[in-house]
Structure 1
C-alpha cells in the first residue's frame, strides 16, 4: 500500500487563509458570522480560521479566542449520523455553542475532508436543534469527491480527485503533531481523520 503527501503545513496555512478571505467576501465582512467546527479536526480548523479572520478583519474577536468564544464553536454530529444502526462506534464530543448563539447569524460549518456528504447532512440536522441561523455555509479543507448526497461546499481549500479505494488522511499539529494531508493507495475509501473524515 503506497502513500503520498499532497499537502504540507504551508499549503494548509495558505488554503485556510484563502478560505478566510472568501468567507469575508461572501459575507461582506465579519458581521453576524459564526464558525462551527465538526469534531475533531473540523473544530481545530474552525479555531485556526477564527484566528486568521481576527487578524484580517477589524472588529472580529481576539486572535486568542477559540472554541466557546463569541464567534467560534463546535457541533457534534454523532447522534445524528445515519450509520449508528450499523453499529459503527463513534465517541461523542461536546457541542459548544458560541457565546453569541446562532439565531439570525451566518453559520459557516467547518470540516476537514468532504467525501460522501453524510457528515454534513448530520451537521445540518444537529444545527436545527440549537437555533435558526439566517444562512448556513460549508467550508472544507479538502473535497475528495464521491458524493452520495446533493451537498456542495461553498469554500474549498483543495479539490483532490481520488479513487474510491483510496484513503485521505488529514493530520493537524494540535491532534497529530504534524500538519499534512496524505493519500493511501488501496485503503477502505473512508478518510482516517476522525468523525469529520468521511463527511
Structure 2
C-alpha cells in the first residue's frame, strides 16, 4: 500500500492534479480507497460506488444481498476522479463503474488505481497505478479481506 500510495501521488503530480476525489468500488475497492485516502492525507470526502445494477451480467448473477447505495459527496462534473478497486481482472467492473460515474456528470479526468491486476482482460482497461501484477493460474483468484487489517489471499477454485 505504501508503494501504491507513492506511485499514485507521483502520477497525480505529473498530471498537475492537486485535489483529486477518491472513489472506491464496493467492497474491496472502498477499503483500498480508504487506506489511500489516509496515506495521501486527503481532506475531501471519499466517494463510494456500488455497481451492482450496472453490471452487464446482472441478469445472470441477480441482485447481491448486500447492495449498498453509492455515495458521491462532491461534484463529479469537471472533477479529477481517482477510481479505486481491489482487483482488475476482466474489466467489466470498471466499465460498470464508469457508466455509473457518468450518470453523475462528466469528470475532467479519471485515474484508475487497483491493488492487484491479474490481467484476464475481456475489455480494454489498464490501471494507471497498480499495487502488484499477479500471474495466477486459471483456477485461482485473489480475495481481499478487510477493512482492517487489509489481507489478501490467493484461492484455488474447486472444479
Taking structure 2 as the reference length, what is the TM-score of the superposition? 0.89
Q: Choose the corresponding residue for 2:152, options 181, 192, 199.
A: 181
**1:85-100 residue pairs with structure 2 within 5 A?**
85-90=59-64, 91-98=66-73, 100=74
Residue 33 in structure 1 maps to residue 4 in structure 2: no
Say if 1:187 and 1:32 are closer, same or farther in 2 by CA, change over 3 A: farther
Match of 1:138, SS state, is strand
* 1:23 alignment partner in structure 2: 8
Contact 1:115 1:146 in 2 (8 A): yes
* 1:115 alignment partner in structure 2: 89
Say if 1:87 and 1:158 are closer, same or farther in 2 by CA, change over 3 A: closer
Distance 2:70 2:59 in 1: 22
Q: Choose the corresponding residue for 1:127, options 89, 95, 101.
A: 101
Distance 2:85 2:115 in 1: 7
Residue 42 in structure 1 maps to residue 29 in structure 2: yes
Residue 160 in structure 1 maps to residue 145 in structure 2: no
Structure 2 gap ranges (5+): none
Q: CA RMSD in A?
A: 1.8
For 1:77-104, what per-residue CA distance to the aligned partner results, in whole angstroms no more than 9, with x for missing partners? 1110011111433232111113x32221
For 1:123-171, what per-residue CA distance to the aligned partner results, in whole angstroms no more than 9, with x for missing partners? 0000011121100111111111111111111111011111111121111
Match of 1:153, SS state, is coil
Contact 1:146 1:164 in 2 (8 A): no
Distance 1:95 1:167 in 2: 26
1:116 Cα shift? 0.7
Contact 1:33 1:71 in 2 (8 A): no
Match of 2:122, SS state, is coil
Match of 1:103, SS state, is coil
1:187 Cα shift? 4.1
For CA contacts below 8 A with separation 6 or more, give which structure has more relative contact order.
Answer: 1
